[in-house]
Chains A and B, each alone.
Chain A
Amino acid sequence: MKNMDFEKLSNEGTETLPSEERRRFLRFGLSVTGVFLGGSVLSLTSARDALGISDILPDAKKFPYKPHYSMVIIQNRCVDCERCMEACTKTNDVPSYGYRTKILDQKRDLGPSLQEQVFMPVLCNHCNRPPCVRVCPTTATYKDKTNGIVMMDYKRCIGCKTCMAACPYNARYFKETNRAIDKCNFCFDTRLSKGEKLTACAAACPAGVRNFGDLSDTESNVYKLVHRPDKVVWVLRPETGALPNVFYTTD
C-alpha cells in the first residue's frame, strides 16, 4: 500500500483499539517527540552553558574543604523582607553605612505588558579562587584552609582597598572602627565557631531562601539542592573565574 492510499481508508476510530496497542503507540510517539524535543532544547543551549552546571560545582569527590561551606539561594522564594540583613547587622555589628549582605531587586519583562518583580540576595561568595585573597599584600584577607571561608585578619589590613577593587561581587566595605575592610565570614566568629549550624541570615530567613551547609556532605541540604537534575543552578559572574560557593537556583 502506498502512502497516498492511506487517505482513502475510512477512520477506524480509537475506541476499538486495544489499550495495549494504544499505549505502545503513545510510547512510540513520546519517544519520537522526546528525541526531537531533547535535540531542539540542546541545540538552543550552547555547549558551554550546558556544561555550566558541572563547571561551577567542584567535583563531588574532590571538595577542597571539609566542611566545604556554601550557600544555596532559592531566588524565587525571596520577598525582600530583609530579615536576613537585619540579623546580619545585629549579629556581626555591621554599621549603618555598610553591609555584608543585601537584597537587590529588578523588574523583569515577562511579555509586552507583563512584568515580574525579582529579588536577589547577595553576599560574599567565598570563592574557591578568590580574587580578593590573591591581591591582598599582607594576607589580611585569606581563605581558611579548613572550611574555605574567606576571612579577615583586621590588624593586618593596610587599607589599600585592592580587595574591594578586585571583588566581582561588591562584597567588601571599610569599617571605621576596625580601620580595616569588613565582609561576610558566614558568621564564623559569631555563630559557627560557637556550635551554631546556620549563619544568622539563613536562620532568620522565613522563606527558606538561604540554605547554608557543607557542600562536601552528600546528605546535606545544600548538596541536594545543587544536584537536582530538573533545576538550573547558576552563580553570579562566572566569567571572572572566581569559582564562587554561593549558588542560585529556583523552586
Chain B
Amino acid sequence: MIKSILADSQEMEVATPGVNKATLLFGLLALLGVGAGIYAQVVGHHHAFANTREMPWGLLISSYAFFAITSTGLCLLAAISHLFGGNRMAPIANRMVFLSIATIMGAFSIIGLELENPHRMLLYNMLSPNLTSNIWWMGTLYSMAVGFMFVEFFSILTRQYKMAVTLGVMGAIAEVLANTNLGAVFATLAGRPFWYGAQLPIYFLSCAFMSGAAAIIIFSYFAYKIRKEEMDTDTFNGVQTAGKVLTLMLFLISVATIWRFIAFYVGGAEMARTAADALTNGPLSFNFWAIEIAFGLAIPMLLLSMTKLRSVPMMAIASAMVLVGQFISRFDLVVAGQIVPEFTGWSDLPTYLHYVPSITEMLVTCAGFGVACALFLLGERFFGNTFRDSGHH
C-alpha cells in the first residue's frame, strides 16, 4: 500500500546528488542537536544549559515557541485554503500541511530535549492532568493537532479529500487553541508583568499567520530552486497571496508592538517598564531595534511593498528576514520577561540578570532547524507530486 501511495506522490527527480547531500547535512545537524540534548540529560541541564533559578527559561523555550508558532500559521493558512477554496493559496496548501507537521516536529524535538523529565510527562500528563495549566493544554492540543494532521496528510496522499478537509479543520482548531495556550503560558503569569496581560495570546496568533506565510513563501521558493524550475503560475499566485498575508501581518504586528511598548512607558508595573527598557535601551536593545524591528519588520515591509509582491526572490528574501526577526523576537520576549530580578532593590541584585545561551542550547536549537529542513527536503522528494497536485481537487 505504501508503495502504491509513494508511486503516486513521489518525485524522484528532486533527489539530485545536491539535494541528497543537503538532506544528509540537515539530518546530521538534527542528530548533532539530539546528541547535545542527550549529553545535557546525562551531565544535567544545570551544567549544560545557561539557565538559572532566576531565569529558568531561555533559548530552548523561545526556539520551541518559534517553531510551534510557525507550525500553527502553516496549518491555519492550509485549512483556510482547503476549507473555503476559491482563494489562490490552494495550490500550495498540501505543502503547507506537510510543512506544518515538519515545523511542529522541530518544535517537539527542542521541547523534548528541554524538559528535565520528558518520560514523566508522557505518563503524568494522562495520570494526573491539571486542567488549569496552560502548559498541559498546549502540550495536549499540539499533540492532538499533529495526530489530526498526520491523518489529514495521509488522506491527501490517498486522495480522500473530504476526509482531509474535515481533519484539516480539526487540526487547525487544535493548533489555534494550542497556540493561544502557548501565549497564555506567559500572559497569565501575574508575577511577570512584562508578559502579563490580554495581548500576548492574540499577538502569538498574529505572529503565527505572519511566520506561517513567511515559511510557505521561502519553502516554495526553495522547492522550485532545487528542481531548477520556474515557478508555475498557480504556485506563484499562491505564493503571492501568502505575500499579501505576510504584508498585512507585518503591519498588524508593528502596530501591536508599538502600542505594547507605549503601554509599558505610560504606567503600570515598574518591573514591566524596566524589562521594556532592557529591549529599548538595555542589554537586548541590539536584538530589539536591529533584528526584531528593522531587519524583521520594517525592511521586509519596505521590500514587499516596493516590489509589489511581483518578485519571488524578493518575497523569499523578505520572508527569510521576517523569520530571523521572529526567531529573535521570541528570544527577546522569553528573556525580557525574566530579566528583572523579582526582589529588585534587595541584596544588591543587578538591574538585569545575565543570560547568554550555552553552546549546548544552541546545538539543541539546531536540532529543530535540522528536523524541519530535512523533513522539507524529504517531503519534496517523496510527496513532490502531491504538492504539485494541490490546486486540482
Contact = CB atoms under 8 A, between A and B. Distances in A.
A105 B57 CA distance: 26
Interface in A99-156: 104-106, 120, 122, 131, 134-140, 155-156
Interface string B190-222: 111000000000000000000000000000000
Interface string A152-178: 000111111110111111101110100
Interface string A28-56: 00000000000000000000000000000
Nearest to B195: A165
Contact of A159 (B117, B189, B269): B117
Contacts of A122: 343
Nearest to A240: B190
Of B45, B134, B190, B341, most A-chain CB atoms within 10 Å: B190
Interface stretch (B24-32, B83-91, B125-133): B125-133
A176 to B, nearest CB: 6
Contacts of A173: 53
A172 B116 CA distance: 15
A6 interface: no
Interface string B38-64: 000000111000010110110000000
A58 B194 CA distance: 29
Given A104-B343, A168-B191, A134 B116 contact: no
Contacts of B259: none
A139 B128 contact: yes
Contact of B124 (A98, A158, A162, A237): A158
A156 B185 contact: no
A137 B133 contact: yes
B207 to A, nearest CB: 20
B115 interface: yes
B57 A161 contact: yes
Secondary structure at the B interface, as helix, strand, loop or mixed, is loop
Contact of A174 (B116, B128, B189, B343): B116
Contact of B116 (A120, A136, A159, A240): A159
Given A105-B347, A160-B115, A168 B53 contact: no
Of A97, A120, A168, most B-chain CB atoms within 10 Å: A168
B120 interface: yes
Q: How large is the interface on B (under 10, 10 to 19, 20 to 34, 35 or more residues)?
A: 35 or more
B35 interface: no
Contacts of B54: 170
Contacts of A170: 53-54, 341-343
Contacts of A134: 130, 132-133, 188
A237 B191 CA distance: 8
A141 to B, nearest CB: 9
A96 to B, nearest CB: 12
Nearest to A106: B346
A239 interface: yes
A179 B319 CA distance: 41
A120 B346 contact: yes
B250 to A, nearest CB: 29
A78 interface: no
Contacts of A161: 51, 56-57, 116
Interface in B327-361: 337-338, 341-343, 345-347
A241 interface: yes
Given A165-B338, A176-B44, A104 B189 contact: no
B129 to A, nearest CB: 7
Given A138-B121, A174-B46, A176-B46, A164 B136 contact: no
B283 interface: no
A137 B129 contact: yes
Nearest to B138: A137
A242 interface: yes
B191 A158 contact: no
B120 A155 contact: yes
A157 B120 contact: yes
A135 B189 contact: yes
Contact of B139 (A97, A131, A137, A159): A137
B191 A240 contact: yes
A159 B189 CA distance: 18
A173 B51 CA distance: 11
Contacts of B135: 135-137, 160, 162
Contacts of B190: 131, 168, 239-242
Given A135-B135, A138-B129, 16 more contacts: A137-B121, A138-B124, A138-B125, A156-B128, A157-B117, A158-B115, A158-B118, A160-B135, A161-B51, A161-B56, A161-B57, A166-B189, A168-B191, A169-B191, A174-B53, A180-B117
17 contacts: A135-B188, A137-B135, A137-B136, A137-B139, A139-B129, A140-B124, A140-B128, A158-B116, A159-B45, A160-B121, A170-B53, A170-B54, A170-B341, A170-B342, A176-B46, A237-B342, A242-B190
Can you list the 10 inter-chain pairs with the closest CB atoms, starting with the nearest? A159-B116, A168-B191, A138-B124, A137-B136, A104-B346, A161-B56, A164-B56, A158-B121, A240-B190, A137-B135
